[in-house]
Amino acid sequence: MRQIKIGDTNFIGSAIALGIMRMNALTVNEAVKTLETAHDVGINYIDSADVYGHGKSEEIFGQAFKKSLLTRDDFYIQSKTGIYENPDLNYKTTRYDFSQKYIINAVDDILSRMGIDYLDSLLLHRPDALMDPAEIAAAFDELQAAGKVRHFGVSNFNPMQVELLQQGLSQKLLINQLQFSVMHTGPIDFNIHTNMTDERSIDHDRGVLDYSRLHKMTVQAWSPFQYGQIEGNFIGNPKFPEVNAALQKLAYQKGASKNAIAAAWILRHPAKIQVIIGTMNPEHIIDSAKGADIALTAQEWYDIYLAAGNDLP
């Protein structure tokens, strides 16, 4: 498994990480198999969030991790917080809370559910319009001093939001988790369409990918096999015949699955992006993980980009 640096540190993580959002649907024994399979193929990075399965995913992870043959040193474990869920409203309302108290309590709950003593990294899940950098800094300092969190980052933040938060922190933000895939190419489309007036020339993210490269932040690509805002899987989807044909052609040539080629497409970008796969199926984990060791040529990369419905000036 190819390895990448996490931010500007000496921490090395697998190019493909395992996201456990769907682990709440597994039995403990099934989760053990999922985790051990991930480890066997070289994945050493777990991504979670306190809202996954309303906390159930982390509970299943904790039980499975304890039951498995794995040790704490086998995984770099990451979680996210800041999305506020109200069980009294049946979790139907999404709000945010970046207060010091909320962040501290959330991490304690995460550690308890996962059955671990510390997180390797904690990310703020989505921007909070009311975020106060000083209050977040106090929470981060307290968590780091207590040995509960080693590193910090964000998810779905634009560059100015990162700058606003970073200026108040004593820790360097190492990670920004963003949606990016063959069928979600906004972070690069506007660059290709520079000095044009078409829809793809619009920068919706304020150059977040280039900003991350300049500031040595690791970009983690979530939903690498999804289209839209998690509307569904584009792999094998009859709605997208052209891109599936292009992926299948390379899959035959490389002796891999279409999922592996889609992952390799993301990894081909020079930003050294880390891909977060969310499958809980051991066979699919094995298939997708092969993407870390597939090297696409520039023209193969553009073949897929164009087959996904994009155009070039």
Three-state DSSP state, 95: strand
52 is catalytic: yes
Angle, helix 282-289 to helix 258-267, in steps of 10 degrees: 50
CB atoms within 10 A of CB 245: 11
DSSP 126-194: S--TT--HHHHHHHHHHHHHTTSEEEEEEES--HHHHHHHHTT-SSPEEEEEEE-BTTB-HHHHHHHTT
Choose the catalytic residue: 52, 76, 227, 305. 52
- Which parts of the chain fold into alpha helices (H)? 28-40, 56-67, 100-114, 133-145, 159-166, 186-192, 208-214, 241-254, 258-267, 282-289, 298-307
User: Alpha-carbon torsion 281, 282, 283, 287, what sign?
Assistant: positive
The span from the CA of 148 to the CA of 104, in Å, is 10
Token pair, residue 174, equals: 């190492």
The span from the CA of 256 to the CA of 3, in Å, is 20
Residue numbers annotated as active site:
52
